[in-house]
Structure 1
Amino acid sequence: MTEQKRANPAPLGLSGFALTTLVLSTFNAGLLSSSGVGVVLGLAAFYGGLAQLLAGILEWRAGNTFGYTAFFTYGAFWEWYFLTAMGVFGNVTAAGIGLVLIAFGIFTLIMWFGTFKSNLGLFMTFLLLWITFFLLGVGAMTGNVGLTHAGGYVGILTAIAAWYTGLAIVVSESLGAKAPLGKAPMS
């Protein structure tokens, strides 16, 4: 009996992450009025959150510890964002949000080391993401709008890198080609 081919869950997780990050980052960068930031909530709950949680579970089933840990963690981040923005946890301070963002930055920095032998797409996504988290976290804790805007711009670059990585896998697989993702520094 031959084993049935399974779809790669990484493009779903990367795309959910990228689109949600892109939309929120445009607000963080100050490119759109913060009065419209509620548009991110549905994305955070379902595409950034639920889709990444599902991708994480599928990565776990495939035995990919890195993919499982990354997608499940960032899916949970987006669910936290959604619930926090909805006020489910009550009054949350800017310092508290900043602390959470910095903690996710530390997690992402550690995960970034795991990309050193993967591909340039993942390497750049995680590099830009930990920088984004630190900028947004310090910006939130200090009330520094300039750091928050910088975090938004780096977040936009993060989203582009993640989207490219995920969609390169989809397009190359549909064309029967190798994904043009480049080599990570230590690969």
Structure 2
Amino acid sequence: MSTTETQNVKIVTADPSALGLFGLAMVTLVASSQKLEITSGLSFVIPWAIFLGAFAQLFACINDSKRNNTFGTTAFGAYALFWFGVAASWMIKMGVFGQALAKDADTKQLGIAFLGYLVFTIFMTIGAMETNKILFIIFVFIDFLFIGLSMNSIGFIPEFSHRLAAISELIVSIFSFYGSAASVLNTHFGRTFLPVGKPFGIFKK
């Protein structure tokens, strides 16, 4: 008489959110410095948009999917693709792909894209309420960032909307640095070294 035994093997992977948040923190820090006129030009913003804003968050997206984290996968994946798109748009505007393409660029189309990302970020903000308060704050200011970006690209109250986007982006960077640090150090020390705040508990028990 033979018996068949079934074994379930659980593969444990590290939480990739610390790297994803660090990528977000870095790209928004560099990009906000340009919007706030601390720096000028986009040439040295583009590499950070591609490698930190895009690839770091894409890495977090792929690894969050392995952890069956739908929220993290969607958030990091969508914003990774956003930074790929923004970097490509900047390069088109700068004539990297030829002057014909640069002359045909309509910034209002960027405004429509930013508006779409605002819709996405709003419902992700609702989801962030049941993750932690630091992540919720990050999403709230990403909302304001996209409000400013969409208004500015469309040409509505340009000075105010540009300033709104710049300040919001800097705040996103600051809280993302904190969120990344908390994710690393809380896990590393096995205790709450940097508090991130409990979920609101409104939609999810």
- TM-score norm. by structure 2 comes to 0.83
Counterpart selection for 1:76 from 64, 76, 81: 81
Is 2:13 the partner of 1:6? yes
Alignment of 1:29-40 (within 5 A): 29-33=36-40, 35=41, 37-40=42-45
Counterpart selection for 1:151 from 165, 169, 181: 165
Which residue does 1:183 correspond to in 2? Answer: 198
How much does 1:4 deviate?
A: 5.3
Secondary structure of the residue that 2:68 maps to in structure 1?
coil
Distance 1:14 1:74 in 2: 11
Which residue does 1:41 correspond to in 2? Answer: 46
Distance 1:53 1:28 in 2: 25
Which residue does 2:107 correspond to in 1? Answer: 94
Which residue does 2:3 correspond to in 1? Answer: none
Distance 2:28 2:114 in 1: 14
Structure 2 gap segments, 5+ residues each: 1-6
**Count, aligned residues:** 185
Secondary structure of the residue that 2:128 maps to in structure 1?
coil
Structure number with the bigger relative contact order (C-alpha 8 A, sep ≥ 6) is: 1
How much does 1:3 deviate?
A: 4.4
Report if aligned partners of 1:129, 1:158 keep a CA contact under 8 Å in 2: yes
Structure 1 gap segments, 5+ residues each: none
Distance 2:76 2:69 in 1: 11
Identity of aligned residues (%): 28
Counterpart selection for 1:163 from 170, 174, 177: 177
How much does 1:11 deviate?
A: 0.6
Cα RMSD, aligned residues only: 1.9
How much does 1:99 deviate?
A: 1.3
TM superposition outliers: structure 1 runs of 4+ over 2 Å:
1-5, 29-33, 88-92, 183-187
- TM-score norm. by structure 1 comes to 0.91
Secondary structure of the residue that 1:39 maps to in structure 2?
coil
How much does 1:31 deviate?
A: 3.0
Report if aligned partners of 2:147, 2:161 keep a CA contact under 8 Å in 1: no
Q: Give, as a single letter, the amino acid of the residue that structure 1 aligns with 2:196.
A: L
Q: Give, as a single letter, the amino acid of the residue that structure 1 aligns with 2:122.
A: L
